[in-house]
A and B are shown apart, each in its own frame.
Chain A
Amino acid sequence: MSLFSDVPQAPPVAVFKLTADFREDTHPQKVNLGVGAYRTDDCQPWVLPVVKKVERLIVEDESLNHEYLPILGLPEFRSAASKVALGDDSPAIKENRVGGVQALGGTGALRIGAEFLRRWYNGVNNAATPVYVSAPTWENHNGVFADAGFKDIRPYHYWDAAQRGLDLTGFLDDLEKAPEYSIFVLHACAHNPTGTDPTQEEWKQIAEVMKRRKLYVFFDSAYQGFASGSLEKDAWAIRFFVSEGFELFIAQSFSKNFGLYNERVGNLTVVSKDNENLTRVLSQMEKIVRTTWSNPPSQGARIVSKTLNSPELFEEWKGNVKTMADRVLLMRDQLKAKLQALGTPGTWDHITQQIGMFSFTGLTPKQVEYMIKEKHVYLMASGRINMCGLTSKNIDYVAQSIHEAVTKVQ
């Protein structure tokens, strides 16, 4: 008899199960369009050249040791990370009302922010505050906020399947109807999984309602630079909200734009009304960090910090980011062109209108199943594909397979 006899088997995380199935598949033309990590045109992981360079600098630097970082993380990392999101000339930073908590990737930043809000936002320990996440959204958003204690996690209208675009009306309507003080998790750019972002005008409308109805802004920023190739462009929405005077959180991930997935580099940027409030907020976040991971890991933060704080390395990094963004844009162009050339039924403009790593193809569950089982092309049940999985060598096969799926399967 075991103490754990009644512990049920948990289902695997879908995206990792997909990759596990892909690995076991022996079909020579198999393609993995599942998990969200960048791949080169040879379908290989890519360690950014600037990262390789900085790793060497770190290992040669005799002045570095492995003493505990402060609980809130490496100070130079936190400030450089927040600066990347808010901009060098950010008035909020100049006004000393911006702080950061180095966290374990974007997930860790979301988690610390969620734990803080559940304890201290909209009352004390108000687990009933509604948390809104987009329909659809990254599959882990719900779980992170639920485990932080929030009891009421709801979807807000976002993806219009019929139009294959943003359901702005539905979104604005949910904003108008949400209880005051509700928390909204917003994707800063390159929405996961739809790749569909509001335009600047649409963001302005969203911000207006949120301000009027006292809704809390919690940005998830996992693709800055990666989406358009420009750090500034991809941070426009965040910076607009800050300039509108919101107190807000930004969960930043450096997994994708630095290719540092497994070193868990993230930052929770906190924008407060003033320095005094910021200080108290950070002190409470410190307590939360202490009972979760005590203090954060150094390696990834050092790499990012050195890069962001050195003008030359910073330029080199931007070049590396553009390389990734440009390859994705090229694959988008080519996929759409090939589908149009094949005369595949439907419109395929959304492939080039969408931005970032992912595209919501619009394929139905049956069509997705056909792709996987018959064509050995692996994608999420939602129809989401990772553009990074496409290469000049497999794009014809993928376009052909989509064509078959759409024409043969309803």
Chain B
Amino acid sequence: MSLFSEVPQAAPVAVFKLTQDFNNDQFPNKVNLGVGAYRTDEGQPWVLPVVKKVEKIIVHDDRLNHEYLPILGLPEFRSSASKIVLGDNSPAIQENRVGAVQCLGGTGALKIGAEFLRRFYNGSNNTKTPIYVSAPTWENHNAVFSSAGFEDVRPYRYWDAEKRGLDLAGFLGDLESCPEHSVFVLHACAHNPTGTDPTQEQWKQIAEVMMRRKLFAFFDSAYQGFASGSLEKDAWAVRYFVSSGFEMFCAQSFSKNFGLYNERVGNLTVVARDADNLKRVLSQMEKIVRITWSNPPSQGARIVTITLTSPELFSEWQENVKTMANRVLLMRSQLKAKLQALGTPGTWDHITNQIGMFSFTGLNPKQVEYLVKEKHIYLMASSRINMCGLTTKNIDYVAESIHEAVTKVQ
């Protein structure tokens, strides 16, 4: 008899199960449009040239050792990461009211932020504060906040399936009707999974309601630079909220824009009213980090820091990021063009209107099933595709397959 006889088998994480099925598939023309990682036009992972260069610099630097980092992380990483999202000339940074916690990717940053808010926001240990996540959202948002102790995680309207665009009226409606002090998880850019972002005008409307109704802004920024190719453009919403005077969090991930997925490089940027409040907040976050992972891993943070703090390497990085963003934009153009050329029923403008790694194709579950089972094209049940999975070699096959799915399957 085992102590663990009653432990149920947990369901696998959907996106990894998809990749596993893809790996097991023998079909020669199979395509993986599931997991969110960049691929070259040869369908290969890409280690950014600037990363390779900096890794060599690190290994040859005999001044570096492996002593524990501070609990909050490598100081130069934290400051340069926050600077990247808030801007070089950020008044908030100049006012010494911006701080950060180096975390384990975007997930770790969300986790630390969530744990802090549950303990100290809107009262003490107020697990009833509603947390709003977009409908739909990244599949892990809900679980990160509930495992931090929040009991009330709710959707806010976001994706309008009929229009294939943003349901702004629904979004604003939820902002107006939710309890004051609710926490809203906002995607800074390149919304996952829809690829649909509010325009600047729409962000202004959102911010106005949030400020008036005292709602907490918790940004998830996993694609800065990767979405449009421009770091500034992709950070517009975050910077606008800061300039509007919000105290807020921004969970940053460097997994995608540095291609450093497996080194777990993230940063929780904290914008507070002033340095004194910031200090107390960070001291409590330190306690949370200590009992979770003690102190963060060094390698990825060193790579990012050296890159961001050297003008030459920084430029090289921006070029590498642009390379990725441009390939995605090219695939978007081509996919739309091919579907239009095939005369595939429906409108396909959303493919080029959407931004970032993902596109919400709008295919229904049966059509998705058809693609996976009959055509060996793997995408999420939600109809989300990773544009990075498209290449000049497979795009015709994918376009034709979508055409078949739409025309044959209702």
Contact = CB atoms under 8 A, between A and B. Distances in A.
Interface stretch (A8-16, A197-205, A343-351, A385-393): A8-16
A68 B262 contact: yes
A180 to B, nearest CB: 12
Interface in A1-38: 1-10, 12-13, 16, 35, 37
A341 B320 CA distance: 66
Contacts of B8: 280, 284
A216 B263 contact: no
A259 interface: yes
B277 A2 contact: yes
Given A1-B273, A3-B247, A107-B291, A66 B262 contact: yes
Given A279-B9, A290-B140, A290-B143, A299 B287 contact: no
Specify which of B247, B259, B290 lies most central, judged by the most chain A CB atoms within 10 Å of its CB: B290
B261 interface: yes
A104 B294 contact: yes
B402 to A, nearest CB: 26
A353 to B, nearest CB: 29
A45 B67 contact: yes
Interface string B235-266: 00000000000010000000100011111100
A300 B297 contact: yes
Specify which of A9, A12, A37, A260 lies most central, judged by the most chain B CB atoms within 10 Å of its CB: A9
A59 B302 CA distance: 14
A45 B65 CA distance: 7
Interface in A279-335: 279-281, 283-284, 286-288, 290-300
Interface in B1-34: 1-10, 12-13, 16
Contacts of B37: 67-68
Contacts of A45: 65-67
Contact of B295 (A69, A111, A120, A262): A262
A264 B295 contact: yes
Interface in A43-70: 45-47, 51, 55-56, 59, 65-70
A406 B63 CA distance: 39
A10 B279 CA distance: 10
A58 to B, nearest CB: 8
B293 A105 contact: yes
Nearest to B253: A294
Contacts, number: 223
Nearest to B289: A107
B10 A286 contact: yes
Specify which of A7, A124, A261, A274 lies most central, judged by the most chain B CB atoms within 10 Å of its CB: A7
A4 B277 contact: yes
A247 interface: yes
Contacts of B259: 66
Contacts of A163: none
Interface in B294-313: 294-300
Contact of B66 (A3, A6, A263, A286): A263
Interface in B75-120: 104-105, 107-108, 111, 120
B185 interface: no
Interface stretch (A77-85, A140-148, A154-162, A169-177): A140-148
Per DSSP, chain A at the interface is loop
Contacts of B35: 68
B147 interface: yes
Given A297-B299, A299-B299, A68 B261 contact: yes
Contacts of A296: 264
A59 B56 contact: yes
A292 B292 contact: yes
Specify which of A121, A286, A291 lies most central, judged by the most chain B CB atoms within 10 Å of its CB: A291
B47 A66 contact: yes
A255 B263 CA distance: 17
A288 B5 CA distance: 19
A49 B298 CA distance: 19
B273 A66 contact: no
B244 to A, nearest CB: 15
Contacts of A124: 6
A356 interface: no
Given A8-B280, A107-B292, A299-B300, A66 B51 contact: yes
A290 B288 CA distance: 18
Contact of B140 (A12, A16, A288, A291): A291
A115 to B, nearest CB: 8
A273 interface: yes
A56 B4 contact: no
A65 B47 contact: yes
A272 interface: yes
B69 interface: yes
Given A66-B262, A71-B13, A104 B290 contact: no
B45 interface: yes
A65 B9 CA distance: 31
B59 to A, nearest CB: 5
Given A247-B2, A286-B10, A293-B108, A299 B279 contact: no
B13 A290 contact: yes
Given A10-B284, A297-B262, A297-B264, A277 B5 contact: yes
Nearest to B264: A297
A287 to B, nearest CB: 5
Given A10-B283, A47-B66, A286-B10, A3 B297 contact: no
Given A105-B294, A140-B291, A280-B4, A294 B107 contact: yes
B66 A259 contact: yes
B291 A4 contact: no
A108 interface: yes
Contact of A247 (B4, B261, B293, B298): B4
Given A247-B3, A264-B295, A273-B2, A4 B272 contact: yes
A286 to B, nearest CB: 6
B299 A263 contact: yes
Interface in A245-285: 247, 255, 259-264, 272-274, 277, 279-281, 283-284
Contacts of B300: 297, 299
A9 B285 CA distance: 10
Nearest to B3: A247
B296 A294 contact: no
A4 B281 contact: yes
Contacts of B203: none
Contact of A7 (B147, B281, B297): B281
A323 B286 CA distance: 34
Contacts of B286: 10, 12-13
B405 to A, nearest CB: 28
Given A66-B51, A108-B294, A298-B262, 9 more contacts: A4-B273, A67-B45, A261-B66, A262-B66, A274-B2, A291-B143, A296-B264, A299-B299, A300-B299
28 contacts: A3-B216, A3-B247, A4-B277, A7-B281, A9-B283, A47-B66, A66-B263, A67-B45, A71-B13, A107-B294, A108-B292, A111-B291, A111-B292, A120-B7, A147-B292, A260-B66, A263-B298, A264-B293, A264-B296, A280-B4, A284-B8, A286-B12, A292-B104, A292-B107, A294-B105, A297-B300, A298-B262, A299-B299
